[in-house]
Structure 1
Amino acid sequence: MPLIDTHVHIDFYPDPEKIAWQYENLGIYAMFVTNLPELFEKHYKSFGGFKYVRLCLGYHPQVSSEYVLNETLFQKLVLKTRYIGEVGLDYQNEHADIKNRQIKSFEFITSPLFNKGRIYSIHSKHTEDMILEILIQNKVKHAIFHWYSGKLSTLERIVDNGYYLSINPKMLKSKHGQKIIERVPLNRMLFETDGPFARYNKQLIYPSSFSEIYSEFEKSIPTFSETVFKNFKRLLIEKDLFK
């Protein structure tokens, strides 16, 4: 059964090209998220042609205080990919102008102009209700809530609207993370590492350690490997149905 990783920051590893080739050679499907359109553009020449590694066009909300979204560049680069991430909202302790900048940028990124036939990997820390409101307003079909840590009531609404949630090994180590995992329906569950930021046994996560990590999940979810791959495959098919 092929393995997947729907959220990984390959460019933050010490040797990104080596890591990308590990995913490729092991046949592990990976969504390589970026933090800025400029970084997507930088990496596209090196990583845009991989079969298993899918380069994602991103604008991380946590960089919004330093970088304004280059909408012209985003609009140009979005034609090169069907994968958008990491994008979202995270304006806790930010000034009102940064909060408004994030909301405006996220509304632009998820607008009907771009969202047909594309998959979003979404950062929603403390902003899950606003995120969901914008996704519904813009009629986004395909979104993955990455490392969800919000309210269980909102989680139910996320699922009711047909979106997915990606879980990682770090979530197994916290009570709230375990509660989230328990509440995610099997047909909406995906796997991510959020490497190199989320670690496994205090070590960086590498593709070679995936079998061990998947086995850890299968202690509580016996069909885990089959389930997350089946869901990812379905998501890819659905993406192409709504171009």
Structure 2
Amino acid sequence: MIDFHCHLDLYPDPHGVARACAQRGLYVLSVTTTPSAWTGTVALANGAARIRTALGLHPQLAHQRKGELPQFEKLIDQTRYVGEIGLDGAPEFKRYWQDQLYVFTTALDICRAASGRILSIHSRRAATAVLDALEAQPGAGLPILHWFSGSMRELTRAIELGCWFSVGPGMLRGEKGRELAKRMPQDRVLTESDGPFAQIDGRAAWPWEAAIAVQELVSIWGVSPPEVERKLSSNLAQLGKLAVL
């Protein structure tokens, strides 16, 4: 099982959830929302060989935490994964747009200077701006668009730019999300939970419930469950080969 976008540190009992992931053999990309969360979040992966930690500065916190960019730069050599970074165009965050742009483009520049990273990217209501920034910084690394919700035209552009995608139960519940997933290259898709932010049945999704997305992909792609599992495992292995560290 693969959960390529999960906020392990934000669960009420993060160490317990991390242990449960390790016991299940779950591959997890544990993303952070601020550089100051890095040390504590890395500790969750102790003894768990299949948990990777990503260095992030979330766009919804950009206006509050932009002063942590020097810390982001200091920590970049400790990981090959960066996330969650990106832009958020929702009304409640659009007023901080300039701060978001500054943080995102600076983070991409830091990644480029470090020879590129694997990037887990937030693009809610901001897909075009995110793609513009990625196009301007092609050396920043391999972009994986988490819970992509842009238009079909933006999806086509993202595919042309070489983006990958992580999809979860929340995204695949809706018709638009399913149609987007149907059009994504199957060799560039991974599953995610986005827990504990994403919800299932009115409560926080667990990392292992990314497996629900596998069931949805069986229907969307029109292939058997073993074939979906094989594709996802192959994609994860390919991603490992593309890692820069």
Give TM-score scaled by structure 2 length. Answer: 0.88
Structure 1 residues 92-101 or 151-160, which shifts more? 92-101
Q: Distance in 1 between matches of 2:146 and 2:172?
A: 15
Task: Select the structure that is richer in helix.
Answer: 2
Q: Distance in 2 between matches of 1:53 and 1:11?
A: 12
Q: Which residue of 2 aligns with 1:126?
A: 125
Does residue 230 (structure 1) correspond to residue 234 (structure 2)? The answer is: yes
- What amino acid is the match of 2:128? D
- CA displacement, residues 174-222 of structure 1 (integer Å, 9 cap, x when unaligned): 1211111111121121111101122234443335545555334323332
Q: Which residue of 1 aligns with 2:64?
A: 66
- What amino acid is the match of 1:196? P
Q: CA RMSD in A?
A: 2.2
Tell me, yes or no, if the aligned pair for 1:4 and 1:192 is still in contact at 8 Å: yes
The structure 2 residue matched to 1:40, chosen from 38, 41, 44, is 38
Give SS of 1:142's match: strand
Q: 1:208 to 1:65 in 2, by over 3 A?
A: closer
- What amino acid is the match of 1:172? L
- CA displacement, residues 112-150 of structure 1 (integer Å, 9 cap, x when unaligned): 11352x211000011111111111211133110000001
Q: Which residue of 2 aligns with 1:148?
A: 148
Q: Distance in 2 between matches of 1:71 and 1:133?
A: 21
Tell me, yes or no, if the aligned pair for 1:88 and 1:122 is still in contact at 8 Å: yes
Q: Which residue of 1 aligns with 2:102?
A: 104
Q: Which residue of 1 aligns with 2:137?
A: 138
Q: 1:95 to 1:169 in 2, by over 3 A?
A: closer
- What amino acid is the match of 1:65? H
Q: 1:71 to 1:226 in 2, by over 3 A?
A: same
Count of residues in Structure 1 that have an aligned counterpart in Structure 2: 238
Aligned pairs for 1:1-243 (under 5 A) are: 3-47=1-45, 50-93=48-91, 98-111=96-109, 112-116=112-116, 118-139=117-138, 140-209=140-209, 211=211, 213-221=213-221, 222=223, 223-240=227-244
Which consecutive unaligned segments of at least 5 residues does structure 2 have?
A: none
Q: Distance in 2 between matches of 1:184 and 1:86?
A: 21
**Percent of counterpart pairs with the same letter?**
30
Give TM-score scaled by structure 1 length. Answer: 0.89
- What amino acid is the match of 2:126? T
Q: Distance in 2 between matches of 1:130 and 1:163?
A: 14
- What amino acid is the match of 1:119? I
Structure 1 residues 148-157 or 171-180, which shifts more? 171-180
Q: Distance in 1 between matches of 2:29 and 2:118?
A: 10
